[in-house]
Amino acid sequence: MPRTLPAVLAIGAALLLAGCDLLLPPRLAVTPTARVVDVAVGTSTTFTVTNEGAAGSVLQWSFVAADLDAWPSSGALTAGASERVLVTVPSGAEGLRLTGRFTGPRQSVEVTVDVVRGPAITCDPESAFATASDTVRVLVGYRSHGIATAAARTEVARLTEAFGSAYGARVERRGAGTEYDLLRVAPTGADALLAALRARSDVAFAVRDVPIARSAIPDDKLYAAQWNLALFGAEPAWDVVDALPPDLDPVVIAVVDDGVAVDHVDLAARMLPGWDAHGNDGDVRNCTDHGTHVAGIAAADRNDGTGVAGVGSVSWVRLLPVKAWPDTTDPRQTTGTAEIVDAMRWAGGLTVTGFPPNAFPADVVNLSLGAANATLDAVFRPVIVELEARGVVVVAASGNGNTGDEPPVADGIQYPAAAGAVAIGSADHTFERSWFSSFGPGLDLLAPGGFAPSGSAGCTTVTSTGVTYANGVASETWTCKGGTSMATPYVSGAAALLLGVDPALRSSPDRAAAVADRLRAAAALAPGPNPDEYGAGVLCLDALLTSTSVCGVPVGP
């Protein structure tokens, strides 16, 4: 008997040394265990890791694979908790089955990824979208939410139905929570329906769906052509971010645009699974390349030996493509206000009726688009307010509406930039406002988006990623475009880098406003005679992230 107590103590000590998982065992579960990745549509997929173990247990998990990258690659989960893991396939893996393994304490689950390449997107000009002329779309928003809004939606539906027999009015889509309702009515009845809706005290806005245009003027090995980076302080700023740990918490930039070539060699490693807010599916490709060009400026790969570099070209900055345009070969084709609002909401993690949840909500939403219609303020402003309350920085183009008159005319910035977003105009290589760049009250900054120095590798504007088409089949390339569309992702990339460099800023309860303040504070150059043309000035990336230079010019002793 005297020897029993030491034996018990030894067993207890062994249990403690073995860890709490023996007392409160975790249980690793992974769903699904097999995925198919179509690299023509996207280069990644997601698995869900769950701790199905005992209450109080903690699952320490990790992912190991020879040919797959995971984000995050490890973590800790309490009992019942889950985490989505993004798994990315390497380039050139078509036709292969790749395997990886999720591991936990004395547990492992093997997963497989079959890599395929589906049909190329075809581009038929005849299938270009045209806004229907037989009906008018109307967006309706509400002043309060909850039970009162549910009642208001019902009354608005009844009112719309009353116009139905005479004008074919109907509710096309009923929103939920802070979403809008979408109605359709014949053009002859639109004014009467709008007047009846606006007369209701519980209706915050009732506006026609206004066409939204992209804000571009069409026009590494190519880094020599990227004056928009070299002259505006990118290299000193990259020195700062390159010194940071490579495993920082990711910062996500959503590119709300006409689509993105997700398998472009300069972009694929940065891509998250996006969504098509126009077609309500996961294929974000299009037959135009505006969004692809914008995405490259924001975060194309750097130091990969090919193509161009993006502002946010570090491993912890990711791109979330959100398509809001119809499939078309025409770069002049517009989309609807409704599609842009849905895309903004989904990008920032807000609910959109009929859309799946966004597993990777954006920290920064880039909007290189706009329309000069003041009725849109009532539509866009509440969405921007709601996104900013979640800490999302919304960056939008001021527009290309200026005529280049001398003296310059303050024509006013477009929406959604004018509805409270960080509004961006375009500067040329001379640090002066580009002649086309819209300006006026509400303009925050200028950034490089205009005209290059002479002899800039054959590109007179901004070089970035693009797509070309032969016989309707898309091929990746690098192209030149100018406009406030090109200036806007420069600032979105800068905001993403700032959030990574400054952890305190990232955790700030007023994060969106704090980032906007820091961006304006770093916009030091405003050489023009009219300060209204420049907002706070021209943004220098090095002035944002360092104290040693401003657009490459050393400061201090």
Instruction: Tell me which residues are annotated as active site.
Output: 257, 290, 485
Do 287 and 474 form a contact (C-beta atoms < 8 A)?
yes
Closest CA to 474 of 367, 310, 327: 327
Closest CA to 515 of 549, 539, 487, 531: 539
Query: What DSSP string describes 402-432?
Result: ----SS-----PPBTGGGTSEEEEEE-TTSS
Closest CA to 231 of 469, 451, 555: 451
Q: Please compute, for residue 489, the number of CA atoms within 13 A of its CA located in the half-sphere on the CB side.
A: 41
Query: Alpha-carbon distance 496 to 493, whole Å?
Result: 5
Do 238 and 284 form a contact (C-beta atoms < 8 A)?
no
Token readout for 99 is 């395997």
Give the dihedral sign, CA 278/473/358/349: negative
Query: Alpha-carbon distance 305 to 93, whole Å?
Result: 19
Query: Alpha-carbon distance 59 to 105, whole Å?
Result: 8
Eight-class DSSP state of 90: P
Q: What angle do CA 151, 154, 159 make, to 5 degrees?
A: 125
Closest CA to 476 of 316, 264, 187: 264
Q: What pairing do the DSSP bridges indicate for beta strands 538-539 and 28-31?
A: unpaired
Alpha helix positions (H), 119-262:
147-162, 164-167, 187-198, 227-230, 234-242
Do 62 and 85 form a contact (C-beta atoms < 8 A)?
no
Query: Alpha-carbon distance 506 to 147, whole Å?
Result: 34
Q: What pairing do the DSSP bridges indicate for beta strands 44-51 and 28-31?
A: antiparallel
Query: Alpha-carbon distance 509 to 541, whole Å?
Result: 24
Residue with tokens 């590109």: 459
